[in-house]
Amino acid sequence: MKKSILSKTSSVWLALLCLIVFTIVLFVVDDLVHSFDEGGNTAYILFGLLSATACFYIIKQNPKSIWYVPLIINSLLILSAFIEPNFWRLPPNASGIAMWIPVCGGWILTLIFSITAVIKGKKVTNFDNTKTF
């Protein structure tokens, strides 16, 4: 039976790869949609969806990685929560919503998908262990 690339690669490396790729996607999408979305909310929503999906597949393959994969993938946005002065409030003379709303929504979605992946990953692992040949 041929193993997938997810099962061959370390969860840490996959999470770091996702962090790099999703950050590039965040900046590209933000630049493309900046004309009609000044707050960059579309880019943050997309980042949240991508990170939740990646966490699901990585953690499903290795359920023990739930402790670090969501933190690695979201590390730059977690850092921005502490560094960015306008993260928790709307900047003066700005329209839209504050940055924390779509970002924290993405974090919650990531946690939900990660917990679901642990449950599904354990079921698959338990099923595979009960097979006899």
Tokens representing residue 72 in the block? 């690695």
Give the predicted TM-score (pTM) of the model: 0.81
Q: Identity (one letter) of the amino acid at 119?
A: I
Residue 100: C-alpha distances to residues 6, 16, 32, 35, 82 (Å): 31, 23, 21, 21, 11
Give residue for tokens 């709307």.
Answer: 90
Give the pLDDT of the chain (133 residues) as one tens digit per residue: 566 666 677 899 999 999 999 999 988 988 888 777 776 788 889 999 999 999 999 999 999 999 999 999 999 999 998 998 888 887 766 666 788 889 999 999 999 999 999 999 877 655 555 554 4
Contact (Cβ atoms closer than 8 angstroms) between residue 26 and residue 46: yes
DSSP secondary structure letters along 75-117: HHHHHHHHH-TTSSSPPTT--S--THHHHHHHHHHHHHHHHHH
Identity of residue 131 = K
Q: How many residues are there in the chain?
A: 133
CB-CB neighbours of 52 under 10 Å: 23
